[in-house]
Structure formats: C-alpha cells, structure tokens
Amino acid sequence: MRLGVSAVYASVAAVLVGAHETYDESLELSSLSGGRVYSSFAFKLHSDHDNLHHFRILPRALLQPVKSLGVDAFQLTLTAGRWSYSSWGAPKGSQSVASGAEVWATFGDQNNSASVPLTTRWRRLTSALAGTFCASLDAIDETTSVSVPAQYVWNDAPAHTEVLHAYLPSENVCTENLTPLLKLLPCKGGAGLASLIQMHTILSSEFQSMSVHARKSPSGYTVELAVSTVMRPAQRPADNTTWTLREIFSRNITASCPIANHSEIRIREPINVLDDSDEDWEDDSIHASTPYTKRISQKVYDTTSLDAPTDLSLQLISPIDGPFLKFAPLQATRQILGFGQERDMVRLTLHNEFITETMHVVYYDQLPWTVMPLMHTINATLSLDNMELPQDTIEYRDDFDTPFITSTKYRPAQLRGKMGAMELGLRVPAQSTLHVTYAIIKRHLHYDEHLPGPHRGSDLPPALFVPMSQSASQHTWGQAHRHLPIEQVQAERIYTPASLLHTAVPDFSMPYNIILFYSTFVALFFGSFLNIMVRRYTDVYIEKS
C-alpha cells in the first residue's frame, strides 16, 4: 500500500514538474540588399527543474552529457557560406557566423565530475555533440582548443568566467546535421514553424547557419536552437514585392505546434521617408526614383492557432539596387599577404564611419602551432576619410595621434601541442581607416603530419573583432545614416572568414617514384635470375620425315 501511494505521489510530482517547462518559437524575416531575404528561426525550451527524468519537452539526449560532465553552458554552431557585414549589417543577436564549426563550453565544479580532468570532460562533450548532430568534431583536442574570455563568445557570461573554445573551419554543413536538430524539437519538423525548414531550401541558400545553445541556471536548463539563412527568392517586378511562405520556403505552415506557448512570425520591412524630418512618412507605394532614406517597421503574425495550411501574405521589399537596411559603423577584415614557404604578412583593416566618436576594438585571433607571429613587426598606420563635417563639430588632434594599439597580449603556442592566442586592443578614430600589419613564420611539418589527399594548405581559424561598449543611439553618424534605426546596427562580434595558409610541402611523388623504380628493377632482375637458375637445358631431337 505504501508503494502504491509513493507511486501516485511520484506521478503527481512529475506532472507538476512538467508544468514548468515552456516552449516558444519565432521566425524573423527581413529584407536585405540585392533582393535577398534573411530568415531566422529561433526555438527556446526552458525548464525550472534540473531533474532529467521529469523532462517532457527538453531533449534528454542533449542534456544528459551536460549534466554528467558538469557543463554550465555550451554552444555549437555549424555555418556554411560567408556573412557580408558591409551589405547585410549585423546578424540577429549574438549569433556566430564563423565558417565551419565553432564550439565553446564552460564547466563548473560538481562533485560527480571534479575528479575528471577538464580536458577529458571537454573531449567527452565534443564527442557527445558529434554523435548527436552527426558532425566531425573528433578533430577537437588540445591542439585545436584554447581558453578565451567568456565575454568574447557569451554576452551573459558571469564575471571571471573562461570558456574552452575551438574552431573547425573546414567542417561542412549537410542534411545529416540539420535533421538531428529538428528531432530535438517537441513537434519535430511536422508542425509549427519548424515545418518550414526544408533541407533543399535551406542548404541551397547563399548563407546558412544552425546552432544549439544550452545553459544551466540555478534551478533548471534552457536550450535555444536556431536556424538562419540568407536566400534570394524568385525575382519579381519592381511593383510586386508580395511573397508568401510557399514562395520563400517552398512550403506552407500545415499546423501549429500544440505544445508551443508562443509562436509568431515577425516581418521587418523598410519604410520610406521623403526628407530628413521625422514627421514625413510615406507608404510602400512610393516610387524608387524618389530620394528617400529607410527606417524599419515590424509586423507580427501569431501562428499559435493555425489548424489548416496557411499562406501568409508577406510584404517584403528587397531592392536589387539602393540603400542597405542597416549600416554598421565599424567594418573589419583580415587578409593573409605575401608569398614564399617561410614567411607571410597579416593585415587587419578597420574602418570607423562615426563622425566624432573613436571606437575601441579588441582583435582576438587563435593561432595554431604551425604559425608564429613576430610581435616586433607589428605596425599600425592611419588614413583619414575626406568628408565634410558639420559646422558644430570639433576635432581634437590627440584623437588622431599614436598609439593606435593600446594593449598587446600574446600566448605562444606549444610546438605540436596547444594552440596560441593573440589579442590586440585597437583604437580607431572617427572617419578613418586603421591598417595593422605583422609578419608570421610558418613552421615546417613532418612528412607524416600532412593531411592525406590533394594538398591545399592549412586553414587559419577566423579572427574575432569585438567592439567595446558602443551604443549607436549616443553617437552621430554620416549624413546618409541619420535615419537609421536605433536598434542593433553594429554587430556585437565580427567574424572574418577563415584564411588559407600555404605551407611548405615536400615532393611526395619522389618516394613513390623510387618505390616503383626499385620494384620494377627487382622484379625484372629477380625474374631473370630465377629463370636462369631453375631452367634446365636439354637436347631436343627432331626427326625428319
């Protein structure tokens, strides 16, 4: 009898605990330059309880290694394509757009995992993620991982927290990665906004990114899944910009997910302004030839009560030519220059479009042991833009004087061991372009350390630029930027594409040529010698008839 009462209490407790789980989903659509459409799917699962056995919505397969390894938070991002900051502005939120795979995690001190070394827990976590998302994360080890400040990759990180971080720039994205992500959702891909995610549509876009972010709170867990794409739907005439979900994703919303508490689609579109005043507004019937600047409005569609296939009429204006929707005041790039087998040159280019405000930026780069920067070769040069400033603008000469490199940190890499890291604090004056260059030495590899297959060089992980505490609402931009939205216009982090580093390669064909030559020689010599040794010579009589 006591066992039955305990079972009843356990079932009731499970129901009560399950009631604290929530699931929200959203889709944001916005137009970009060149007739492109940016779509961002966001799925958030939250629980106020940390007992994995009572979860009804949160994925246990994902959180089981998180709990057993004492992981406080982690994020896995798989990205294909290149995000254009100059044309598309900033991605949504703090989304990572680093090409390939990016993994970071922070670990806490728990009783069940305190005796396990941190590197072992890190390898076990990446192995679990590799199995869950069918990704080739086995290459992550001590030689590809580094400890970074948490603020570089995690905005909500607690103070004095460091994370383990790793890049795999050559990792590809395919359907085998996206399908396991959809299976973590309560309704999978059969209902709700997730039903719009079609493999052939997502993977054929110009840019696609999928990410999973899980973190532990004092009382529960939060899992955030995201899928972002930049695609170019079929071009329409200039006077017809109304698109439906089927035209964008090749599918409609068949039904809403009954478990979702909130499900909505947000449409972000530009609003045309005829002049510089904030009171003159026009609708979308304005001709493109009329001079105008752009603001952004937002329309919200609630999709929690859909019970039939629905075609939502979406008003998206994506001009092929014309102003962009977002202007980022800071542009940053990294290039590998030079030639030869021993040395190369790295050039950083940062452009500040603010009129009066100096920007402070942190440049962070992870360097494998095959690359060694020469710190004494660091050089910074500044070039000013030719622009007419407003009459009430005051410039100070100190802003344009050196030094432009305010701080320098370098952690050397261990030869054939751990990765190194380089961090520079940069000061970019207003309306100027800063060029920073430094030389690097490329170490030679042993013949057995080269990757198999055709040689293409080695991938240098993406570099990271982090603007420091800049608020667009407190600064003055150029004349063409005065009517930009005050919302996020500057990316919280700027990722550069991965760079291809040419390394010295020995002539691998020579050993094979020698092997083939000697094999042929030995075969001919041994065959001829054996033939002479074993052949018997006898007289043969031939009778003539």
- pLDDT tens digits, one per residue of 192-209: 899 999 888 888 899 999
Q: In percent, how much of the chain has pLDDT > 90?
A: 28
In a domain, 84, yes or no: yes
**Would you state the structure tokens that stand for residue 441, as one six-digit string?**
């030495």
Per-residue buried b or exposed e for 136-173, using 16+ beta carbons within 10 Å of the residue's own CB: ebeebeebbbbebbbbbbbeebeeeeebbbbbbbbbeb
Residue of 406 and 511 predicted with greater confidence: 406
Assigned domain for 286 exists: yes
Of 38, 160, 134, which Cα lies nearest the Cα of 90? 38
137 domain-assigned: no
Sequence-ordered list of residues with C-beta below 8 angstroms from that of 182, at least 6 positions apart, any chain: 188, 189, 194, 197
Q: What are the residues whose beta carbons fall under 8 Å from the beta carbon of 269, sequence distance 6 or more? A: 30, 31, 284, 296, 297, 299, 315, 316, 317
* pLDDT at res. 26: 94
Query: Do 368 and 438 lie in a common domain?
Result: yes
Alpha-carbon torsion, ordered 405, 411, 412, 418, to 10 deg:
-140
| Residues 340, 453 within the same domain | yes
Distance CA 265, CA 252 (A): 13
pLDDT at 339 over 90: no
Give the pLDDT score at 151.
83
Together in a domain, 384 and 487 = yes
Is residue 218 located within the same domain as residue 292?
yes
Partners of residue 74 on adjacent β-strands: 105, 214
Residue 324, pLDDT > 90, answer no
Does residue 412 belong to any structural domain of this protein? yes
Q: Collapsing DSSP states into helix, strand and coil, what is residue 295?
A: strand
Judgement on whether residues 302 and 447 belong to the same structural domain of the protein: no
Among 466, 484, 501, the domain boundary falls at 501
Give residue 220's pLDDT.
86
Same domain, yes or no: 434 and 495: yes
Span 290-301, mean pLDDT? 58
Q: What is the DSSP letter of 471?
A: -
**Same domain as 299, residue 356:** no
Mean pLDDT rounded to a whole number for the chain: 78
Using the CB atoms, write b or e for 330-351: b if 16+ within 10 Å: bbbbbeeeeeeeeebebebebb
The answer to whether residue 141 is domain-embedded is: no
Quote the pLDDT of residue 4. Answer: 45
- CA 128, chain centre distance (Å): 20
- 516-545 pLDDT tens trace: 888 898 888 888 888 888 888 788 788 876
Q: End of a domain among 315, 341, 369?
A: 315
Residue 445 has pLDDT above 50, yes or no: yes
Q: What is the predicted pLDDT for the residue at 3?
A: 37
And the tokens for 363? 């440049």
Give me the DSSP letters along 496-523.
Answer: PPPEEE------THHHHHHHHHHHHHHH
| Structural domain contains residue 102 | no
The single-letter DSSP state of residue 462 is: P
Mean pLDDT for the stretch of residues 435-441: 94
- pLDDT the model gives residue 209: 93
Domain co-membership, 338 together with 439? yes
Give residue 474's pLDDT.
38
In a domain, 98, yes or no: no
Structural domain span for residue 246: 17-89+182-315
**299 and 424, same domain (yes or no):** no
What's the number of domains the chain is made of? 2
Same domain, 371 and 453: yes
Task: Name the residue among 76, 100, 83, 105 with its Cα closest to residue 168.
Answer: 100
List the Cα angle 236/242/243 in 5-degree steps. Answer: 85
pLDDT in tens, 360-415: 999 999 999 889 999 999 999 998 877 666 666 656 666 677 789 999 999 998 88
Residues 254 and 339 in one domain: no
Are the CB atoms for 314 and 243 separated by under 8 Å?
A: yes
User: Per DSSP, what are the bridge partners of residue 371?
Assistant: 442
CATH code assigned at 473? 2.60.40.1170
- Where residue 182 falls (left for φ over 0; alpha for ψ -120 to 50; beta otherwise) is alpha
495/444 same-domain check:
yes
Distance CA 275, CA 480 (A): 11
pLDDT(150) > 80? yes
> According to the model, what pLDDT value does residue 314 have?
61
Domain contains 149: no
pLDDT category at 482 given cuts 50, 70, 90 is: very low
